[in-house]
Structure 1
Amino acid sequence: MKRPVNRLAQLAIGRLAIGLLTAACLCGAASADVRLGVGVPVTGPDATFGAQIRMGAEQAVADINAAGGILGQQVSVEVGDDAADPKQGVSVANKFVGDQIAFVIGHFNSGVTMPASEIYAENNILEITPGSTNPKITERGIETIFRTCGRDDQQGAVAAKFLAAQGAKKIAIVHDKTTYGKGLADETKKSLNALGITEVLYEGVNKGEKDYSAIVSKIKESGADIVYWGGVHTEGGLLLRQMRDQGVNAVMMGGDGIASDEFAAIAGPGVEGTFMTFPPDPRDRPEAAKVVQEFKAKNFNPETYTLYSYAAVEVLKQAAEAAKSLDAAEVAKAMHSGMTFKTVIGDINFDQKGDVTRADYVVFVWKKGPDGRIGYYQIK
C-alpha cells in the first residue's frame, strides 16, 4: 500500500530541486569560457592558409589555457569553414553571432573579411585578421577590426621599388580578380607608375582556372621580362608552370599570397628566381623559438600566417587583461590605446585604423637551399 506524500514534503523537495538547479546554473556561469571563433578556408584551394591560421590560433589557445586562460577563464575555439567564398564567409559570421562568439581570428581572404567584418561590427564582436591585406579593410571606420599582417599598399610600394632598382622596364601585371589579388596588383601598379614605369600588360584571370594559354600568349606578345602576379599560390603556380612550358622566361614576382611551399610544388623547377614580398620570416624570431618547436613536435611547419594567427590570440589576451573586460568595445579601446603587445612576431602596436604600425615588408627569392630543396629566402 502506497503511503500518501506529505504536501509540505513535496514543497520542500521542489524547493531543493530549484535550489540545486540554480546552484548548477551559477556554477556554469562561474566556469563560462571565452568563446573564440576562427573563420578560415578549411576546404577549397586556399585551405593551406586556412590550416595555418587555425593551427596558430589553436596552439595559442592551448598555451594560454595552460597558463590560466584570459581573466581566469578558459578559451574555447569554434572553427568556421568559409571556403574562401564571401557568401560562405557571411554564413560563418552569422553562425558565430548565433553561437555567441566573443572574438574572431580570421578571415584569410580580403574578399571574405570585408562582408564578414560588417556582421561582426554590428554584433559587437572583435575581429583580428592575420592575413587579409587589402587597405580598405581598415579604412571603413570600424572600431573593432584589426590585423596583425601588413597592407597591400605597403608591399606594393616595396615591390615597385625593388623592380625599379633591378632596372625592370617591361612589366606585365596579372591578377586573379579577387579583392586581394586585384587590390595588390593595383597598389603595385600605382607605385610603379609613380616611379615612371608603365606596365606593358594589365590583365585579370578567373580564380580557379586551369588553362592559362591565352594569358601566357599575351605575356609573350608583350615582350615582358617581369610578370607581377596579384593572387595566391594556386593560380600563380599554374600560371608560372605554363609560362615555362610555353617558353616564356619572364621572371615572376608576387606578394604574400605565394608564400607557401605549395607554390613551388605547383610551379615546378621553373619557380627558381621568382621574387615575392613578405615580412622577415617570423619563424626566425627569438620570440617564436619555443612555439616553433611546439609545432615541429606536431610535424607542422608554422610558415606564413601561422605565427601571425598565434600573435593575434596573444594580443586578445593582453588587451582583455589591460581592459579588465571581455567586452569587444572595451578590448578594442585597449588595442587602440597605443600599448605595446609582446608577441611571437615581435612587439607590435596598432594605429587608430587597426593596422600594425610596423611596416616591415622585404623581398624574398625562391631558390635551392643547402639541402637542395627549393624554398624562399630573404634577399639581404
Structure 2
Amino acid sequence: MIGLMTVLFICACSKSYEDSKRERTEVALNPKNQDTIVIGVAWANKDAPFVKGAQLAVKEFNDDGGILGKSLELLINEGEGKISDKLTLRQKQDITVKVARSFAANPFVIAVTGHRSSYQAVPASIVYQFHGIAFIAPSSTNLNLTDHNFNYVFRMTPNNEEIAKQLANYCHQKGYQKIVILHSKSSYGSQLADSFVSSFVKKDNTVKEHKTEIVL
C-alpha cells in the first residue's frame, strides 16, 4: 500500500501529466497521425500466449480494414521480465511503473493492455489514468484496480469480491456448514479469503462467522 501511495503522490504532484494528456490528444487529432492506432502491451515475454493472442487479434482487425479506417499497431514492452522472486514488492512495482512511464512518454500510445498480476496492474493504472491512456487489465482481480472510479481503467476479469461471492453461493447451495480455507499470505490470497468469509456469512444469517475456519 505504501508503494501505491508513493506512485499516486508522484503522479498527483507532477505538472507534466497534463502536458502529456494534451500532447496525446493533439497527436490523435492530427490528420497526419491518423493512419495508425498504437496500443501498448506490457508482458514479461513477447512469446507468451497472451501476446500472441493480441498479435492475432490485431492481424484480424487489420485484415478486415482496421478500426475506423485505421490500422492497429502493437508496441510490446518486456520490461517486467526483469521481475523475480528475489525482489521486494516495492522493487517489483518500481519495474512496473518504469514500464508504464515508458508508454506514457510516447504520445502515440493511446491504450495499453497487460501487466499480468494485480501488484503490477494497480500501480500501472495510476500512471495511465494521470496520462490519459486507456488501460485494460486482462487478469487483475484486486478490488483496488477499479474501486477508485478511474475513467481510463478497465478490467476484463471479475474482481476477488465477485469470485468469492460465486464460491460462497456454491457452498451455500451444497449446504456446507463448516469450511476450511487454505490460502497464502499474499494480498491476493487474503483479499479473496476475507471476501469469501464475508459473502458466505452474509448469504445465510443462520451461519455464524465462527463456523468458518480460516487456516493460514
* Alignment match, 2:94: 87
Q: Percent identity?
A: 28
Matched to 2:102, the amino acid is K
For 2:104 and 2:58, how far apart are their aligned partners in 1?
20
Q: CA deviation at 1:188?
A: 1.1
SS of the equivalent of 1:160 reads: helix
Q: CA RMSD in A?
A: 2.5
Bigger fraction of residues in helix: 2
Q: Normalized against structure 1, the TM-score is what?
A: 0.41
For 2:76 and 2:35, how far apart are their aligned partners in 1?
19
1:142/1:54 CA distance change after superposition, 3 Å: same
Comparing 123-132 and 171-180, the one that deviates more: 171-180
* Alignment match, 2:120: 112
SS of the equivalent of 2:212 reads: coil
Is 1:37 aligned to 2:45, yes or no? no
Q: CA deviation at 1:160?
A: 1.0
For 2:71 and 2:117, how far apart are their aligned partners in 1?
29
Q: Deviations over 1:207-246 (max 9, x none)?
A: xxxxxxxxxxxxxxxxxxxxxxxxxxxxxxxxxxxxxxxx
For 2:44 and 2:171, how far apart are their aligned partners in 1?
32
Q: Normalized against structure 2, the TM-score is what?
A: 0.69
1:158/1:93 CA distance change after superposition, 3 Å: same
Instruction: Say whether the 8 Å CA contact 1:133–1:151 is kept in structure 2.
Output: yes
Which of 163, 175, 189 is matched with 1:181 structurally? Answer: 189
Count of residue pairs the alignment pairs up: 170
1:51/1:180 CA distance change after superposition, 3 Å: farther
* Alignment match, 1:68: 65
Q: CA deviation at 1:185?
A: 1.9
Q: CA deviation at 1:31?
A: 6.5
Runs of 4+ in 1 over 6 A off after TM superposition: none
* Aligned pairs for 1:1-380 within 5 A: 29=32, 32-42=35-45, 51-81=48-78, 82-83=80-81, 85-100=92-107, 101-194=109-202, 195=204, 196=207, 198-203=211-216
1:185/1:193 CA distance change after superposition, 3 Å: same
SS of the equivalent of 2:164 reads: helix
For 1:127 and 1:171, how far apart are their aligned partners in 2?
37
Runs (5+) with no aligned partner, structure 1: 1-27, 44-49, 204-380
SS of the equivalent of 1:105 reads: strand
Q: CA deviation at 1:58?
A: 1.5
For 2:187 and 2:50, how far apart are their aligned partners in 1?
19
1:121/1:30 CA distance change after superposition, 3 Å: closer
Matched to 1:180, the amino acid is Y
